[in-house]
A and B are shown apart, each in its own frame.
Chain A
């Protein structure tokens, strides 16, 4: 069965510094997708970035990049030049493609950006 692990319950980072949020996953299936979502204090879930298991390059979306290390089964989110508005809960998620396709989530990391 697939599993997502986020080992950092909380992090404090100074504004303008880069942030790395850890995510490891477990699956024996070769075809899968990895996602990151942001949940601000207002509660809504915001999609940030996606990486397919066959994608050759790491995904990037603006200040977000996904550091995909397939052999290590890690999919860390990197936020460059952090801003106060990045303070939120961040969830890593994955699905197994073309099988059950359900998306499961990790427990999340709460990120605090300090002024």
Chain B
């Protein structure tokens, strides 16, 4: 089993729907991140969390919210999805006090029609 698991892996939805992407990890890392990847734009940081009580906005948090339900779980929500949120979303973890190497999930491809 993967150390960082994202569900769903693929999702097609309609404008205005609420969507939740879930991430769970078995690495025991404190730090978790959500990125989105768009062609030509690389990976952009949406939100990050360094422990259960610590949530921080990244570069592009508008239109998104997150929940850190436990050390191992970090969910990303789109309250009212819009077409320009169509992207590949990655969850990642890293270890506190380390150089910061990220361990990525396999990605969740979201299409908003």
Question: Taking beta carbons and an 8 Å cutoff, which residues of A are in contact with B?
Answer: 6, 9, 33, 35, 37, 43-45, 47, 50, 52, 91, 93, 95, 97, 100-108
Contact = CB atoms under 8 A, between A and B. Distances in A.
B101 A105 contact: no
Contacts, number: 56
Nearest to A1: B59
Nearest to A39: B37
B107 A43 contact: yes
Nearest to B2: A44
B25 interface: no
Interface residues of B, number: 26
A44 B42 contact: no
B88 interface: yes
Interface stretch (B15-23, B44-52, B65-73): B44-52
9 contacts: A35-B100, A35-B102, A43-B107, A45-B90, A47-B101, A102-B33, A102-B58, A104-B45, A104-B59
A103 B100 contact: yes
Nearest to B109: A43
A6 B40 CA distance: 11
B107 A102 contact: no
A107 B40 CA distance: 6
Interface in B21-40: 31, 33, 35, 40
Given A44-B106, A45-B90, A103-B33, A50 B41 contact: no
